[in-house]
Amino acid sequence: MRNSREPNGSNSGSGKAPAVIGIDIGGTKMLGLVIDETSRTVVQEKWPTPKGAPEIVNGLAGLTADLVERTGETHEVRGVGVGIAGLVDSSGRLRRAPNLVDSDEFAVRDLLEPNVGLPVFVDNDANCAARAELHVGVAQGVKHAVLITLGTGIGGALIADGKIVRGAAGMAGEPGHMLVDPAGPQCVCGLKGCWERYASGAGLAYLGRRAAEQGDLSAVVENLDGDLARLHGEHVTRAGRLGDPQAAAVLDTFAWWVSVGMANCAAMSDPELIIVGGGLVRDWDLFGPRVGVYLNEVLVAAEHRPPIRCEPAVAGEAAGALGAAFLAATETGVLR
């Protein structure tokens, strides 16, 4: 343990409170924060995400230096956690990042550590979001859970025995590209019929366009002057919220597809809780109740299992940064 000279994890010789930084790198912004040993957020700030791996390292180093400076009088920062959307391996290398510019095979930890002079820990953003739910959110005290994030695509995390499962190479818990329909629509990953083609924001848009092509969703199509290419998931949810029955039907189909992937996750991991995060969770009231119903229909032996709770994530916009901070805090002994 890196701070073994301070067995109680409390104030160091400097008299300052131990703290860690967490940074979440999204496609457009980086959210950084500092938490102390009581999990309290001390400061938080947002920077734009630079384009390109070297620029991101510079940005991370700059944000880290800024956060250290802002808390330096009262806190001693012991480590930096970084959460990134994409496949992150256990050495802290970003293998594949579809949402970041020129950042595949980006050795985040090895490049950042010498820049900031602090231990750096890197994980996938959904794993970080799951850590936030475990520490301060809806999964507190939960041993076995699955987190799925329904955004542009689908991210995920697997919690077993109260811990995030990272797998052999660090890439476990990636349900978005599970094949649910091998004859289905083309996915960005090169395969066809991945779960996220149906059950993400892009999936809802696809289901909406498909319904429109069959003559449904007429009010939405009229508002778009018949241009189906402009039809996004939000058009469906907005119309659903206004009581449009054809939009409600699309949302019902969407809920079925969400439940299909959830059932696959549940068949593999037997969770007590499925946490739903990501941008679409703000419309959970529109499709969540149907997901619960369909999950019982498509999950094998549902009537012989304890019911699986499906609940929206509660850690909010800062979940990724908070979870990255919890990763660093656990690894450095600031939190136990």
The smaller minimum CB distance to Zn ion, of residues 68 and 265, is found at: 265
Closest CB 281 distance from Zn ion, rounded Å: 21
Q: Single out the segment in contact with Zn ion by CB under 5 A; choices: 58-66, 111-119, 186-194, 264-272.
A: 186-194
Closest CB 176 distance from Zn ion, rounded Å: 7
Closest CB 38 distance from Zn ion, rounded Å: 41
Give the Cα separation of 284 and 286 in Å (integer): 5
Q: Single out the segment in contact with Zn ion by CB under 5 A; choices: 10-18, 180-188, 210-218, 228-236.
A: 180-188
Two structure tokens written together for 241: 């919220």
Q: Which amino acid is at 31?
A: L
Q: Single out the segment in contact with Zn ion by CB under 5 A; choices: 105-113, 155-163, 183-191, 211-219.
A: 183-191
Give the Cα separation of 83 and 125 in Å (integer): 5
Closest CB 197 distance from Zn ion, rounded Å: 7
- First vs last C-alpha separation in the chain: 12
Closest CB 177 distance from Zn ion, rounded Å: 4
When asked if residue 187 is in the footprint of Zn ion (CB under 5 A), the reply is yes
When asked if residue 202 is in the footprint of Zn ion (CB under 5 A), the reply is no
When asked if residue 178 is in the footprint of Zn ion (CB under 5 A), the reply is no
Closest CB 114 distance from Zn ion, rounded Å: 35
The smaller minimum CB distance to Zn ion, of residues 32 and 261, is found at: 261
Give the Cα separation of 97 and 87 in Å (integer): 7
When asked if residue 142 is in the footprint of Zn ion (CB under 5 A), the reply is no
Chain position carrying tokens 């390292």:
57
When asked if residue 235 is in the footprint of Zn ion (CB under 5 A), the reply is no
Q: Is the distance from CB of 53 to CB of 103 less than 8 angstroms?
A: yes
When asked if residue 166 is in the footprint of Zn ion (CB under 5 A), the reply is no
Cα 14 to Cα 17, 18, 33, 117, 265, distances in angstroms:
9, 10, 22, 18, 47
When asked if residue 189 is in the footprint of Zn ion (CB under 5 A), the reply is yes
Please choose, from the candidates 58, 69, 64, the residue with its C-alpha nearest in 3D space to the C-alpha of residue 81. Answer: 64
Give the Cα separation of 330 and 328 in Å (integer): 6
Q: Single out the segment in contact with Zn ion by CB under 5 A; choices: 162-170, 179-187, 305-313, 318-326.
A: 179-187
When asked if residue 194 is in the footprint of Zn ion (CB under 5 A), the reply is yes
When asked if residue 179 is in the footprint of Zn ion (CB under 5 A), the reply is no
Q: Single out the segment in contact with Zn ion by CB under 5 A; choices: 21-29, 150-158, 173-181, 229-237.
A: 173-181
When asked if residue 177 is in the footprint of Zn ion (CB under 5 A), the reply is yes
What residue ranges bind Zn ion (CB under 5 A)? 177, 187, 189, 191, 194
